Amino acid sequence: MIVDSPYAETCAYLGRTVSSTTGPPLGRIEDLLADAHSHAPQWAVIRLVGIRARYRALPLLLVLETERGLVAPVTRAMLRTTPAVALGVGLTAAQELALHGSWGNPL
């Protein structure tokens, strides 16, 4: 039986590049992290552009689908200042609090 997931559209973001609204690419969405209470995808894990694999969590609400692809109203510098996250590992409560704080959305 096939069940429609309300998050199927969100999962279609995986592997896609996100660019800044000012133009340059920020990186590629490698993973999605869900809220511990609602289980709804809340964070897009971005592999930053560059040689070294560095990952940052971007609020999924900031990722917009446009005619030129996925964009977010942030710069590379802004994304680099947020706490690093590990690929394939869920967030701890402390990490999630730090992320909310760094994006100006304290709980």
CA atoms of 19 and 92, how far apart (whole Å): 27
CATH of domain 8-98: 2.30.30.240
Give which of 51, 50, 46 is closest to 63, Cα–Cα.
46
Residue 1 pLDDT more than 70? no
Helix intervals (H) in 1-107: 8-11, 76-80, 93-102
Q: What share of the chain is helix, strand, coil (3-state, %, to 5)?
A: 20, 35, 45
Share of the chain above pLDDT 90, in %: 48
The domain limits of the chain are 8-98
Cβ count near 63 (within 10 Å): 21
Express each pLDDT in 16-51 by its tens digit.
999 999 888 999 999 998 877 777 888 999 999 877
